[in-house]
Amino acid sequence: MEERELLTFLLSVTVLLVALIQRRTLNLFSALRLPFIAFCLMTLSSLANLLDNTISFQFFSVAEHVLYTLSAAVIAYWIYRQEDSASS
């Protein structure tokens, strides 16, 4: 297990915790729900990256990249929605 990967994961989890603590704000501004999901996928990707060194490298390595790609797709979709709502 790489210390840097663990640190990255912990930092991501911390951000998630902070976001959860501020969920009232997130709920109030529903526009941030998709970025939050994307960040969660990214955290899961980080977790997969952390696990591929210890359990099943093949699976978690693929999972890491899949989750990451999903996260990028969600962000792309969110950006797309933002542009629509702004233009409308």
Partner 1 sequence: MSSTSALLNLLSAALLIYSLIRLHRAKLEWDAYTRLMLNWFLGTLAVISSANLLYWPSLLSTSTASTLDLILDILQLLAAVFFLIFLHAFGQSRWHAAVNSKQKDYQSMLNKLPGVSYRSTGDEQALLLEVSDNVESLLGVPAANFRGKHRVSLLEYMHPEDRESMLPAYLDCIADNRPFTFEYRLINPEGEEIWVIDRGHRVNSSEGKHVVEGILLNASRLVSAEQELSQQEEHMRMQQKALLRLCEFSGSLEQAMQLVTRIMAETLDISRASVWLYTQDRTQIDCLDLYSRESDSHQHDLSLTLTDYPGYFGFMEFGDVIAADHAQEDERTAELRDSYLAPLDIQSMMDTPLKIDGEVRGIVCAENQHEVKKWSIDEQNFARSVANVVSLMLEISVNRQIEEDLRKERDRAQSYLDTVNVMIVSLNNEGRVLLVNDRACDLMGYTIDEIIGKHWVSSFVPEEERTELLKVVSDAYKDTGSLRSSYENHVLTKSGEKLLIRWSNAYQTNDEGKIIGLLAAGEDITEFRRQREEKDRLQDEMQRVQKMRSIVQLTGGIAHDFNNMLTSIMGYADLAQISMKRNAEIESDRYLGAIRATSKKAGNLVSQLLDYSRENVLVKTPINLNDVVRESHRMLEAMMSSSVQMIDELEEDLPDISANQAQIQQVLVHLCQNAKEALHDKNATLWIKTSVKQIIGASCTSCFQKTNGRFVCLEVIDNGVGISSAVSAHMFDPFTTTKEVGEGTGLGLSAVHGIVHMHEGHILVQSEPGQLTRFSVLLPINTATETAHEPIETTEIIDKKKARREGPVRALLVDDDESVTRLLSSFLQRNGIESEVMNNSLEALSNFEKDSTAFDIVITDHTMPNMTGLELVEKIRSRRKDIPVVLCSGYNEMVNEDEARALGVSRFLNKPVRLETLASVISELTSA
- Do 49 and 64 form a contact (C-beta atoms < 8 A)? yes
21 lies in the site for partner 1, by CB under 8 A: no
In the numeric block, which tokens belong to residue 47? 């977790």
Per CB under 8 A, 47 contacts partner 1: no
Which of 1, 25, 56, 59: binder of partner 1 (CB under 8 A)? 25
C-beta of residue 52 within 8 angstroms of C-beta of residue 9: no
Find the helix packing angle between 3-21 and 33-51, rounded to 10°. Answer: 150
Phi/psi at 61 (nearest 5 deg)? -65, -45
Provide the minimum distance between the beta carbon of 54 and partner 1 in the complex, in angstroms, as a whole number.
16
Q: How many residues bind partner 1 (CB under 8 A)?
A: 41
CB of 8 to partner 1, least distance (A): 4
Q: How far is the CB of 69 from partner 1 (least distance, A)?
A: 4
